Structure 1
Amino acid sequence: MSFRLAVCAEMVYGALPLIDRVRRIHDQGFEVELWDTRGRDIAALAATGARFSSMSGYFGGSLVDSDSADEVVASAEKLIPTALELGVERLVVHPAELGEGGVAVRPLHRATGQMWLTGLRTLERLAVLGEKHGVTFALENLNTILDHPGIPLARAKDTLALVTAVGHPNVKMMLDLYHAQLGEGNLIELVRAALPHIGEVQVADVPGRFEPGTGEINYRAVASALAQAGYGGVVGLEAGASGGPGVEAGDAALAAFRSAFEV
């Protein structure tokens, strides 16, 4: 297999405690993605032996807001020890601050030049922080049609432009193809264009945000395009199981994910 496969423990096996979800994902040969790690037993997570591919990399502020960009960098720095303890490679950030359920804390529907400049400068500061500690910050694209209305500079072409402008190895793109399909489409050309700047690829099918094979995206074709382009990094399943939160449904979702990316 040419890809490293990871699974977001926040979205599958919901009937199990988090630590058991991590163990089950790990036991099936997948790496593990996490969201907010605050308040969680980091030592117990590390003791599972799982390889953690990514986690949330900030918990306050907005990359593109000059009044709160310092908060992004400060919160990112506070999360570095957790990332190092878990061996996390990528810390995920977003173009603006997300609240409960992914809702924009301060909805904005028009991007200004100042937002672009502030976003660039904040990412440059994260690049320095990442280089110092040996981690990468990954800027994730989002969709504003369904899940994250009011987040500026969230389209894949915008996040790619910001990451390209930074031009630093410790700032990459978390290319989320579920979000890109909802907002932009043309996924195969998108992965080809973004390839030099991709830190990780995340997937889920549309509609529903379930495992590959449950919706309209031809993930076998996407996998072939990634392989042909030379991508050999992490592909992460950030999706629920279409059969529900139970163990059998989760196992089936992981099997479908693995099958889609066997190229």
Structure 2
Amino acid sequence: MNFRLAACAEMIYGELPFLERVRRIHEQGFDVELWDTRNRDIPALVATGARFSSMSGYFGGSLIDAESSDRVVESAAKLIPAALELGVERMVVHPAELGGGGVAVRPLHRATGQMWLTGLRTLERLGSLGERHGVVFALENLNTVLDHPGIPLARAKDTQALVSAVGHPNVKMMLDLYHAQIGEGNLIELVRGALPWVGEIQVADVPGRCEPGTGEINYSAVAKALAGAGYSGVIGLEAAASGGSGPAAGDKALSAFRHAFAGE
């Protein structure tokens, strides 16, 4: 198996200052995932020497709302300089606007044809923006059962349909298998079908959103299926450490993650 492994610095080593989290992840040979970079010291992050696989790609508006979709593109453009300075490859967007704790800003529980069309057009605009600057915008699926109720078009099958309809090389899926397990299941068939549109894969176990081996998902089997299908891209651990937020627990979580996807 020849995957690039990454870890989300927002969710692991929570007791450490943020730059120390990034350094510790990098020193163990992982890429680093970031969320909102607006209040981060970008030069200091660059100076860690870490390789950054992804970051949040917008901070306002809703991709599927005609009245606020312009804000998605405008905010994405404002984040481009930070992405370029960090060398980020993928900028993550969601099907609708998320507030604090990932809660839907305007909860909606039914998708309409207008939402589909607006989402498609907004992603086309993001694809053009990404092409101009050499970055990929990655649409992340979310679960609406537990973490993100009220987000339309959030299931992996919906995000896949949108990304495939756009058909732009700078628009991909951020396929989150934690969310997919809660909302859809059948992960091996899901990843096999989605691979042509996947830019990056994120993982965490269910329940608990901790490292592989703490829940019900057989991530070793998923890894073998991904390798068999020819995937060699980034797999990111977007999870908390089951043992807590200290350094030892984080190290153990990253070791379990590496074992599941690299056999080490």
TM-score in terms of structure 2 length = 0.99
Cα deviation, 1:127-157, whole Å, max 9, x if unaligned, reads 0000000000000000000000000000000
Q: Which runs of 4+ in 1 moved over 2 A?
A: none
SS of 2:165's equivalent?
helix
Q: 1:28-107 maps to which residues of 2 (within 5 A)?
A: 28-107=28-107
Deviation at 1:181, TM superposition (A): 0.1
The residue aligned with 1:10 is 10
Using the alignment, how far apart are the partners of 2:61 and 2:182 within structure 1? 26
Aligned partner of 2:139 in structure 1 is 139
Over aligned residues, Cα RMSD in angstroms?
Answer: 0.5
> Which amino acid is the alignment partner of residue 6 of structure 1?
A
Show the 5 A alignment for 1:158-197: 158-197=158-197
| Aligned mates of 1:46, 1:104 — CA distance in 2 | 32
Alpha-carbon deviation of 1:72?
Answer: 0.1
Whole-angstrom CA distance in 1 between matches of 2:40 and 2:163 = 30
Code of the residue aligned with 1:4 in structure 2: it is R
Paired position in structure 1 for 2:228:
228
TM superposition shift of 1:39: 1.2
Q: Deviations over 1:20-79 (max 9, x none)?
A: 000000000000000000111000000000000000000000000000000000000000
Counterpart-to-counterpart distance in 2, 1:198 and 1:155: 14
Gaps of 5+ in 2: none
Runs of 5+ unmatched residues, structure 1: none
* Equivalent position of 2:238 in the other structure: 238
Q: Please give the alpha-carbon distance, in whole angstroms, between the structure 2 residues aligned to 1:86 and 1:127.
A: 20
Name the structure 1 match of 2:217.
217
CA–CA distance in structure 2, aligned partners of residues 185 and 86 of structure 1: 34
**Separation of aligned partners in 2, 1:104 and 1:35:** 17
- Deviation readout 1:191-223 (Å, 9 max, x if unpaired): 000001000000000000000000000000000
Partners of 1:127 and 1:39 in 2: how far apart?
Answer: 25
> In the alignment, which residue of structure 2 is the partner of 1:26?
26
Separation of aligned partners in 2, 1:241 and 1:108: 32
1: CA distance, partners of 2:39 / 2:16? 18
What are the Cα deviations for residues 70-124 of structure 1, in whole angstroms up to 9, with x where unaligned?
A: 0000000000000000000000000000000000000000000000000000000
- Give the partner amino acid of 1:154: A
Looking at structure 2, the residues matched to 167 and 47 of structure 1 have their Cα atoms a distance apart, in angstroms, of 36
| Structure 2 residue identity aligned to 1:102 | G
Cα distance between partner residues in 1 of 2:5 and 2:177:
15
User: How far off is 1:262 after superposition?
Assistant: 1.4
TM-aligned CA deviation for residue 178 of structure 1 = 0.1
Q: Give the aligned partner of residue 110 of structure 1.
A: 110
In 2, Cα distance between equivalents of 1:247 and 1:39: 24
Give the 3-state SS of the residue equivalent to 2:154 in structure 1.
coil
Matched to 1:253, the amino acid is A
Matched residue, 1:121: 121
SS in 1 for 2:262: coil
* TM-score normalized by the length of structure 1: 1.00
Secondary structure, counterpart of 2:66 in structure 1: coil
- The one-letter amino acid of 1:205's match is D
